[in-house]
Amino acid sequence: MIWPIGLLMLFFERRPFLQWAIWAGAGVITCGSYFYLMRQQPSEGLFLLTNLPLLPFNVLAFLGSYGALLGGKAGQIIAVIVGTGVATMTLITTKNYLKTRHRTDLVLLALVAFVALTALAVGLFRAEKGMSIIIGGRYRQYSSLAVAASLLMAFRHLPFHLPHWGRVSIWGVVGLVTVLSFYRDIGLRKTTEWRTIVDYHNRLHNRLDLLATTPNPRYGVDVVEAKQTGLYAVTAPYDLLTQLNSATRTDLASQAVAERFEEKKLDGVTCGNYWLIEEPQLQFPSRDNEAIYLVLSKDNQHIIFPTASKRNGLSAMLKQRSYFRKGLEAEVYDCVQSFDAYEINWLKVGQKPVLYTTHSTISQFRIRFKQ
């Protein structure tokens, strides 16, 4: 995304041909290398046509996702409104730049253009599951950059003057939203951390790539060798096998529901078929040193998956004094290996690990099929 923005700046700055040639040559080499590497993961299509009708809304939501403090439709509406504000300030600044050719305006426009191109790519390639993906935590730093740039544009070009306290108040609101955003994404950060820990366990002990579509006999060899040579040293909280073996067994009267999803990924190498296991009896851990995982067990093999939980609404947060709703969910990908005969358990990791046993398999749970 940086390469076309550089060309845009060279064009508006009317730089000499040599600078154009150097930048264009660097861009050709970079893009050529990128697409050469992408050939190792061929795609079946450039983008999903179903993403096109909502593309303008997805782009605006991407630009304004920084302000989406609420979940669901309310958060999506807020994101679109904030994104519209960013787009409006960008148009005003563009109009002023074409008149004054002020370099500061060009820099601000380049920053927003970089985010906008990223938003366009995400809207085309990553919106197959709706706008919730667009405003997800992994992309929100782009929106933060766009909002900051648009605020600087507003201070430069809006036709009214704010007193000092007014400007301080605006940046105070920005700081407050940033702090709230940090807490809003705590579930995503924890689940991402758990996914890394789970990936290490499954590589080392099962030699199984859960997200692949075909078996890979060499998968996990690097982790095994690193473990043997002492390159990897895993402490107790992250050694899931040790936690599993030392955990206290507790029977759980499970009310789990298994929902089947079957999707065809565009890259052709990532598994899109999975079971969504929902267990309403358990709670997302509240302490930093705790975690909870889904464990599929058969004989002496234990395959582990990270869990997640949905956020409470604002009123429910205040009433229940809990950020997360009661209940856990986990995605069990099974393109390489079927897990129908594996027993489902839940491992809570902490100072005193607990293994909640259900004595049930996926096929014994209440099953919903995604239409």
Output the pTM of the full model. Answer: 0.66
Of the candidates 248, 256, 309, 316, the residue with the CA atom closest to the CA atom of residue 281: 256
What are residue 305's DSSP bridge partners?
294
- Give the separation between CA 199 and CA 219, rounded to whole angstroms: 11
Whether the CB-CB separation of 339 and 362 falls below 8 Å is answered with yes
- State the Cα–Cα distance between residues 158 and 87, nearest whole angstrom: 14
Q: What is the pLDDT of residue 371?
A: 44
Other CB atoms closer than 10 Å to residue 360's CB: what's the count?
Answer: 14
Contact at 8 Å (CB) between 294 and 304? yes
pLDDT of residue 196: 86
Angle between helices 103-125 and 55-64 (to 10 degrees): 120
What are the extents of the domains in the chain? 43-184, 188-369
- Ranges under pLDDT 70 in the chain: 1, 3, 7, 13, 34-51, 71-72, 126-130, 133, 136-138, 160, 182-185, 264-270, 272, 313-314, 365-371
Identify whether the C-beta of residue 323 lies closer than 8 Å to the C-beta of residue 311.
Answer: yes
| Residue 229, Cβ density class (10 Å: 0-12 exposed, 13-18 middle, ≥19 buried) | exposed
**In the prediction, which pLDDT does 48 show?**
52
Q: What is the pLDDT of residue 44?
A: 42
